[in-house]
A and B are shown apart, each in its own frame.
Chain A
Amino acid sequence: MVLKVFWQGLFRNNPTFRLVLGLCPTLAVTTSLENGLGMGLAATFVLCCSNGLVSALRKVIPSAVRIPCYIVIIATFVTAVDLLMQAYLPALSASLGIFIPLIVVNCIILGRAEAFASRNGVIASLADGLGSGLGFTLALALVASVREIVGAGSLTVWGDLAFKNLNPGPATLAILPAGGFIVLGLLLALMNHLAAWKARRQGAPAPLPVSMDCRHCTLCGHGKEVAK
């Protein structure tokens, strides 16, 4: 059960490529692999902690005020990550900028708290948080690697492990804001194509291409509208 939940978050329900959630950080911080990994790991930490705490307190929190309670829990962990990063990883903190405090409004985290942690046990919720968080990190790393290789021609991880001259003619467009949209759009199309190919090989009907899917999240009216 726990392993299944973990793998689902990582691949079948990948927050970026299957559910299309949390797009702002996905587009904004993926100019280099380092930034993408830093953002992904920070979000994973917050997701695990908030899922665990929400699940542990699920019988105590009254359902009428559950969303403000989740927001307080998430904002507490985000503040902790923000302060820790400023103290120990100042360079990464400076390049991620306001996107670290903005983890608070990342719909993946509130969505998982509402859809999974508020209904399941602590261990399963931790696994779900870890799976979804690492799925998000993996997606960020993929987008960031493509953008960095195409746009800058190099790949740098933690300053030491650097690959240079991977691409003889770097196209700067890929690391500009416009390139973020285009690269993510092309990668999403590739994922759609792979999913359709896999389904065809198994003889199953082809899955619909992803659209903004907020059905699992009931936070706002939009999710209910989409579900209809």
Chain B
Amino acid sequence: MSYYLMILVGAVLVNNFVLSRFLGCCPFLGVSKKTETALGMSGAVVFVMTVAAAVTWCVDRWLLAPHGLGYIHTLAFILVIAALVQFIDIAMKRFLPALHGALGIFLPLITTNCAVLGAAEINYKQGSGFCESVFFSFAAALGFGFALLVFSGLRERLAHANPPACFRGVAVALVAGGLLSLAFMGFSGLVKLPY
């Protein structure tokens, strides 16, 4: 139990996926202008990353490893993730239309979100077990969502600020992201990291 708690705290606060590992920076800057869109994106990422971790673990353990095909794991993982996102899109539209209305437009973005493939790669490199992999991906996605939500709050304030002309747009957002990352550095050393 405490091991899983350590993974959770480590992935959300200490080694946050966006702010200290730099995975998923494009959606972090791209969909953080409004809190509602940030919430939708976070929900979609948590869902897809958790499912993707389970599926990529199975693909690795039962398809790639027995045939000695570990060297093409990147190729296999990205194809599986792309197909999975398509499948979730179709299934959600059919069975959960209300949820699809809220998260639908973010789903295609997730295929090229490096956090999803990054988590699968980290799990592969660690050689961790099924529950561990799925839980780590879930925690990492929560960390991504948490950072995105906090950052969208900052950006809603920034929209009313009046920075010098050359700082408008992404430049000032990046500096604000840097300050947020600095704040998260205060959590370092909180737990001994299993990952």
- Does chain A bind chain B? yes
- What is the chain B residue whose CB lies nearest that of A98? B121
Chain B residues lying within 8 Å of A25, measured Cβ to Cβ, are: 22
Q: Which residues of A contact B171 (CB under 8 A)?
A: 185-186, 188-189, 192, 209-210
User: Would you call A79 and B72 a contact (CB within 8 A)?
Assistant: yes
Identify which of A54-62, A131-139, A171-179 touches chain B: A171-179
Residues of A within 8 A of B106 (CB): 221
In contact, A212 and B114 (Cβ under 8 angstroms)? no
**When the two chains form their complex, are residues A196 and B170 in contact, meaning their CB atoms are under 8 A apart?**
no
Given A177-B19, A220-B108, CB of A185 within 8 Å of CB of B172: yes
A185 contact set on B, CB distance < 8 A: 167, 170-175, 177-178
**1/0 per position for B154-181, CB-CB distance to A under 8 A?**
0000000000111111111111011101
Number of interface residues of B (CB under 8 A): 49
CB pair A196–B165 under 8 Å, yes or no, is yes
The interface size bin for chain A is 35 or more
Against B, the Cβ 8 Å flags (1 = close, 0 = not) of A178-215 are: 11111011101110110010000000001011111010
Main secondary structure of the interface of A (DSSP, over half): helix
Determine which of B22, B108, B179 lies in contact with A27 in the assembled complex, contact meaning CB atoms within 8 Å.
B22
* Residues on A with beta carbons closer than 8 Å to the beta carbon of B114: 24, 102, 105-106
Say yes or no: is B56 at the interface (Cβ < 8 Å to chain A): no
User: Can you identify 8 A-B contacts, CB atoms within 8 angstroms?
Assistant: A75-B78, A76-B75, A98-B125, A102-B118, A184-B174, A190-B166, A192-B166, A211-B170
Which residues of B pack against A, CB within 8 Å? 19-26, 29-31, 71-72, 74-75, 78-79, 82, 105-106, 108-109, 111-114, 117-118, 121-122, 125, 164-175, 177-179, 181-182, 185
Mark A residues whose CB is within 8 Å of B. 20-21, 23-25, 27-28, 67-68, 71-72, 75-76, 78-79, 82-83, 98, 101-102, 104-107, 110, 173, 176-182, 184-186, 188-190, 192-193, 196, 206, 208-212, 214, 219-222, 225
